[in-house]
Amino acid sequence: MLRIGLTGGIGSGKSTVLAMLADHGAAVIDADAISRGLTAIGGAAIPAVRQSFGDAFIAPDGSLDRDRMRAHVYAHPAARKQLESIIHPLVGARIRHEIEQAQQAGRRCAVLDIPLLVESGHWRSEVDRVLVVDCDVQVQVDRVMARSGLSHAQVQSIIAAQAPRALRLAAADLVICNERITLEELRELVAQAAKSFGL
């Protein structure tokens, strides 16, 4: 089974492309959704998070207190590494399990939506091809501001924290340029990509 790593900056249209690839029959594996599940009520990561960080980082409902943890890991890089050492192995195991399930179901292609695909040397070796959804930075800013209500400075800060556009493009085996095109034109580009993936 072909394993495609999907990446793109915030506001690039990656989620739209992912949904279109699913419509073509690709198995979709979402690392963020897996991570959220691991830190939800009763999630597999909660006991280790509680042990490492204490009850202050667990919400009253038993899930991870995301706001508190986000503030903590941004202020303390060592805490970020500690949290990642808990979450990443669990996410990796779940992704591998979902790939195995997709293979057993006879899927020809799995698309792995992994936010740190380019930044993480580990995940690049786990996929056969890298698909980058790309657009100009100003297009990203405009899209994110329109959908989220974040300020220009906040969006720029998020973009600055992600892999640089040039780094993503350098890692790409295939690029879908998602700017100044219609949704129908995007569908056609995705259909061409899907065909190249055997879908």
Q: What is the pLDDT of residues 76-125, one digit of tens each?
A: 989 989 999 999 999 999 999 999 999 999 999 999 998 778 877 777 88
Q: What is the pLDDT of residues 135-181, one digit of tens each?
A: 999 999 999 999 988 889 888 888 887 888 999 999 999 999 999 99
Pick the CATH number of 1-26+109-199 from 3.50.50.60, 3.40.50.300, 3.40.50.1000, 3.30.1300.10: 3.40.50.300
Where along the chain do its domains lie? Answer: 1-26+109-199, 32-106
Q: What pTM was estimated for this model as a whole? A: 0.84
Distance CA 55, CA 70 (A): 15
Could you give the maximum distance between any two Cα atoms of the chain, in Å? 50
Q: State the binding site.
A: 11-16
Q: State the binding site for ATP.
A: 11-16
Q: Can you give the length of the chain in residues?
A: 199
